[in-house]
Every structure is written in C-alpha cells, then in structure tokens.
Amino acid sequence: MEIATEDFYLEVKGGEVKSIVQLLCTNQARIIEFKDYLNWRILFDEYYIVEYKNGEIKLPNLLDKHKYIQNAMYQHFEKRKSKEQIDALCKTIKYASAQKNGTSIIISDDAEIEVERLCGAKRGFKIKKFNILNNESLVQHITSIDGAVIIDSDGYCYGVGMIVDGEAVVQGDNSRGARYNSIYNYIVQKYIQGNCYVAAIISEDGMINIISTEIDRDNFRLLE
C-alpha cells in the first residue's frame, strides 16, 4: 500500500495485486482511495460513490453529482453551446436524476432522425416535439416510463420509452445493470459511426453516468 501515490495505483484483480499502474485519466476506473486510518472511499468516473470514516458509511451528496454532471456537459458542449444552454441541459439531467427507478436521457443533434429510425422498428414512442428545458415536472413525467428519452441539444424531445439497439461493439460490465450496458454500447456505436452523442444514465441506486462520444472516446473498451 505504501507504494501507491496520487499518480500511481495498485491494480487489483481477484483479490491480488497484479501491477502498479499510472492512470492518465480515471474515467471508467473504479478506485479505492485510502485517505487516513479508518477513512477510505470508492470512486467511479472521477466522483465518489461511497465513503467510510470512523465506522460510518456516507453516500455522496447531491452537490457532488451536480458538479459531475456540469463538468461532463461543459466538456461535451463548450465549443457549440452557450453557458445558458448548457446550464439548462444540466438542470434537465438533475431533474431526471430524481427518478426512483432510474432513467436515461440521450442528447443528439440528429434526435428526430434517430427517433424515426427506432420507432420504425417499434422501439419506442414518437411524439410531437416540445421543449423540456427548465420544466422540472415535465421532465419527471416523461422519464417515469421504461426506456430512454431522446432530445436534441436545444432541449426538444422527439421520443420517449426508446429502446436503443445495435450490435455489441464494446466490452460489457457485469457489475452494472442492463440500462447502463445497453446505453454505453449504443453511444460507442454512434462514435464508431462518426456521430456526436451524449447520454445521461441514472441507475436505480441514484448513480449517474455521463457517456460522451466527445470526451470518453479514448476510454471506450472496444471489442477486438
């Protein structure tokens, strides 16, 4: 343990230390960080999901999640959207994160075309477009059913209850659920096709993941 530092990590598999690694980017990494005696925390995607201190288990507060959402969305949209537009998209994801059973929001500039394609295969419900930005009750309503909500980067919603498709192009993660794995694979497939997509995945346990074709592409675990 004394070998590990802020720059070098011990890689553990099957309960054994396998190697010492230097991580240039900790996206998608699961890290156990020992801060002090009887004080450690588990981090995933650069934000912590649980902390143990002096016999007490603490869960991350909402501000940590909101900061994570904001950082990810700004990295994805900073060259294309104004601060006001990005903040409105962040609020939409924050509203959706209150869903007790989890949900997902997919954002793409070709949202209308993609909804048409998926609905043609009976994989969701096409709706007359409307803007969901800055409307908490509306976001809560449309994310309450199974399936993803697909919107464009201006906040216009085109489809709800969407079931994403595509062949397996990325390594799955058995520690995560079907929602995370299917959306993650879908976003990676869009990256391979040369499209610009970002998705917010809210799990039933309240965990939030932002997957982006812009900022996560160097960490996609592509199948060989």
Q: What is the pLDDT of residues 80-114, one digit of tens each?
A: 999 999 999 999 999 999 898 899 999 999 999 99
Cβ neighbour number for residue 184 with a 10 Å cutoff: 23
Using the predicted structure, report yes or no on whether residue 28 has a pLDDT greater than 60: no
Burial class of residue 128 (count of CB atoms within 10 Å of its CB; 0-12, 13-18, 19+): exposed
Q: Across the strands, what pairs with 216?
A: none
- Which tokens sit at 8? 């070098």
199 band by pLDDT with thresholds 50, 70 and 90: very high
Residue 170: partners with Cβ closer than 8 Å, 6 or more residues away: 184, 185, 188, 189, 220, 221, 222, 223
Structure pTM? Answer: 0.76
Using the predicted structure, report yes or no on whether residue 20 has a pLDDT greater than 70: yes
